Chain A
């Protein structure tokens, strides 16, 4: 049913305008700029809007309409939604604000709105949403300036403005997005519906979330547990201690935040602290396979960076694995005599194509190694391109995950571009690279638990 919202064949934009500083104007412009289906601006005052024939009301649109995007003042929404129902429209995105977020009168209005939506069997995102993006059909029904690059990450956000800012930022990062969904007040479609939808959506590979509060908590956990797709969430309000209940110790310690953390973990949702971490992990999930275990190998042309990475790995419960003698022999052949062929491998400044290529090959062929962190530290004496080419070339043939960390700012730009085009997740510092890998490992562990439990239950 949500497909009428995400994959409509035709859209009415109610409150459409020629003025692009207005919501109805900007959203119409964004929809027209990419979306290939039929678009019908609706505005009783205009004949044509942004070069497209406009209609005084949805009832007067000649063809079938799947989705209505509504951006008009709250007091007119009920009557318009009623008309949408009569017209046979299945999906609604209600951008209009002034509902439950404003207090009791608004809540009453929202309940009336919901009852109309239900009466006609429609589905609604919002009200008070900043819209949705569905990249695979080039649909940008938001005020985000442009469509993101294609990708498998779908992002659900409760905060509209933060979501939009993040979407813009991911575009700058070149991170591929599939869908961006601003949930608004979640009067009808909530997180549970969205997770169930994205779970079945073949274009979505990773689900990222910014949540301030979850409706239908139990159902939410069940839906999250059911999906095999990785879910990463940043949940705000961590600092808020439990209400100072005096009755029990448990009550005073078990604030909503502690319960959230436990619940998320049980449902296999990776709860992270920062917005960076959400997308660092999402990036790794979107382009790397899950490791089979937590045995990690590290290559670096500088000792310092590999020590930082090693410490961070240990902090996250990863094992810096002992390499087989055969692997060490192979590595010794391509790195200087004084360099270290033990894990973490330190090439002692060498970053030639051959040194990186042969070392990485040896590490990934070692059956004890489950994942590789490839680090390159830029100096005036070195070139960021050859090691990047080496890692991309080998990664193409290898089913183990590889995480890259090209350090050194502008000097690494060309190397980083090679990594990006080779679909290797790259991070600016080792800690971020390690955390992203830790996310992959945690998700694999979660899937294993689910699998062993399912096996136990079917016995």
Chain B
């Protein structure tokens, strides 16, 4: 049996292994949404939270850069929209989330392979992964040095190292995430996992969105 974790659940799992994730909480009312937004600091991202909706933005379930004064109405609008577009979905509420910091979009993933166990993937996110599939793989477990090798293997590595006067991304922070993901692979019975994007800048790396499928 497999189970799909919601974004929030997936991120709690990541946090358990020391991976930095966005500050976030699930609101079940417009008032609660505002309270969370005030705590996190606006603007915030607001995403519908449902175990039945895996691709949230495809159904209009994501609103970014929500200002403080818009949080309550956005909550109400999101709930109403989802009831219309995905009427049978079980809705847990709305995930109110810290906006992603500026930085490079990267992707970290895990997939259980039938023959060799878990494979860990790293690449640049966004169009780089969609079009160029500029990624590297290792079979877990990986240590810090393997993780650093994985990062340096992708073609886009110079982008992370900083080109045209841009500050270099924190490579060590990415490597730590890779090692942590490697560590959770078997312990958490993961079938598939995406951290997409893992935003990386000069100060660190943070999981902004995540999805996971586990053996239940």
Q: Is the CB of B109 within 8 A of A249?
A: yes
Q: Is the CB of A254 within 8 A of B116?
A: no
Interchain CA distance A247-B138 in the complex, whole Å: 20
Q: Is the CB of A221 within 8 A of B194?
A: no
Q: Is the CB of A247 within 8 A of B192?
A: yes
Q: Is the CB of B192 within 8 A of A245?
A: yes
Q: Is the CB of A250 within 8 A of B192?
A: yes
Q: Is the CB of B54 within 8 A of A247?
A: yes
A248 with B137: in contact, given A218-B116, A221-B116, A253-B121 (CB under 8 Å)? no
Q: Is the CB of A266 within 8 A of B139?
A: yes
Q: Which residues of A contact B63 (CB under 8 A)?
A: none
Within 8 A of B (CB), among A271-295: none
Q: Which residues of A contact B54 (CB under 8 A)?
A: 247
Kindly provide the distance from the CB of A335 to the nearest chain B CB, expressed in whole angstroms.
41
Q: Is the CB of A217 within 8 A of B116?
A: yes
Q: Does B117 contact A (CB under 8 A)?
A: yes
Task: Give 29 A-B contacts (CB < 8 Å), ordered by A residue.
Answer: A213-B115, A217-B113, A217-B115, A218-B116, A221-B139, A245-B192, A247-B54, A248-B109, A248-B111, A249-B107, A249-B109, A250-B107, A250-B111, A250-B192, A251-B111, A253-B129, A253-B135, A254-B111, A256-B113, A258-B137, A259-B113, A259-B139, A260-B115, A262-B136, A262-B138, A263-B116, A263-B139, A266-B139, A266-B146
Q: Is the CB of B194 within 8 A of A250?
A: yes
Q: Is the CB of B133 within 8 A of A253?
A: yes
Q: Which residue of B has the minimal Cβ distance to A245?
A: B192
Within 8 A of A (CB), among B157-216: 192-194, 196, 211, 213
Q: Does B114 contact A (CB under 8 A)?
A: yes
Q: Which residues of A contact B109 (CB under 8 A)?
A: 248-251, 253-254
Q: Which residues of B contact A189 (CB under 8 A)?
A: none
Q: Does B66 contact A (CB under 8 A)?
A: no
Kindly provide the distance from the CB of B156 to the nearest chain A CB, expressed in whole angstroms.
15
Interchain CA distance A259-B119 in the complex, whole Å: 6
Within 8 A of B (CB), among A321-374: none
Q: Does B34 contact A (CB under 8 A)?
A: no
Q: Does A214 contact B (CB under 8 A)?
A: yes
Q: Which residues of A contact B115 (CB under 8 A)?
A: 213-214, 217, 256, 259-260, 263
Interchain CA distance A250-B114 in the complex, whole Å: 15
Q: Which residues of A contact B139 (CB under 8 A)?
A: 221, 259, 262-263, 266
Q: Does B110 contact A (CB under 8 A)?
A: yes
Q: Does B4 contact A (CB under 8 A)?
A: yes
From A217, A221, A250, A253, name the one whose CB has the most chain B CB atoms within 10 angstroms.
Answer: A250
Interchain CA distance A218-B192 in the complex, whole Å: 19
Q: Which residues of A contact B129 (CB under 8 A)?
A: 249, 253
Interchain CA distance A213-B115 in the complex, whole Å: 8
**Is chain B's binding surface mostly helix, strand, loop or mixed?**
strand
Q: Is the CB of B192 within 8 A of A266?
A: no
Interchain CA distance A259-B139 in the complex, whole Å: 7
Q: Does A261 contact B (CB under 8 A)?
A: yes
Q: Which residues of A contact B138 (CB under 8 A)?
A: 262, 266
Kindly provide the distance from the CB of A56 to the nearest chain B CB, expressed in whole angstroms.
44
Interchain CA distance A218-B115 in the complex, whole Å: 7
Give the size of the chain A interface in residues (CB under 8 angstroms).
Answer: 21
Additional pairs, 12, CB under 8 Å, beyond known A259-B139, A263-B139:
A217-B114, A245-B192, A247-B4, A247-B54, A249-B107, A250-B107, A253-B135, A254-B137, A256-B113, A256-B114, A259-B119, A263-B115
Q: Is the CB of B137 within 8 A of A262?
A: yes
Q: Which residues of A contact B116 (CB under 8 A)?
A: 214, 217-218, 221, 259-260, 263
Q: Which residues of B contact A248 (CB under 8 A)?
A: 109, 111, 192-194, 196, 211, 213
Interchain CA distance A10-B80 in the complex, whole Å: 82
Give 1 or 0 for each of A368-412: 1 = CB within 8 Å of chain B CB. Answer: 000000000000000000000000000000000000000000000
Interchain CA distance A444-B35 in the complex, whole Å: 60
From B109, B111, B121, B213, name the one whose CB has the most chain A CB atoms within 10 angstroms.
Answer: B111
* Among B111, B133, B211, B213, contact of A259 (Cβ-Cβ < 8 Å): B111
Kindly provide the distance from the CB of B200 to the nearest chain A CB, expressed in whole angstroms.
17
Kindly provide the distance from the CB of B155 to the nearest chain A CB, expressed in whole angstroms.
15
Q: Is the CB of B193 within 8 A of A250?
A: yes
Interchain CA distance A262-B117 in the complex, whole Å: 12
Q: Is the CB of B4 within 8 A of A250?
A: no
Q: Is the CB of A261 within 8 A of B137?
A: yes
A247 with B113: in contact, given A253-B121, A253-B133 (CB under 8 Å)? no
Q: Which residues of A contact B114 (CB under 8 A)?
A: 217, 256
* Among B133, B135, B136, B192, contact of A251 (Cβ-Cβ < 8 Å): B192
Q: Which residues of A contact B113 (CB under 8 A)?
A: 217, 254, 256, 259
Interchain CA distance A11-B133 in the complex, whole Å: 54
Interchain CA distance A261-B139 in the complex, whole Å: 10
Q: Is the CB of A249 within 8 A of B196?
A: yes
From B107, B121, B129, B135, name the one whose CB has the most chain A CB atoms within 10 angstroms.
Answer: B121
Q: Which residues of B contact A263 (CB under 8 A)?
A: 115-116, 119, 139
Interchain CA distance A54-B113 in the complex, whole Å: 50
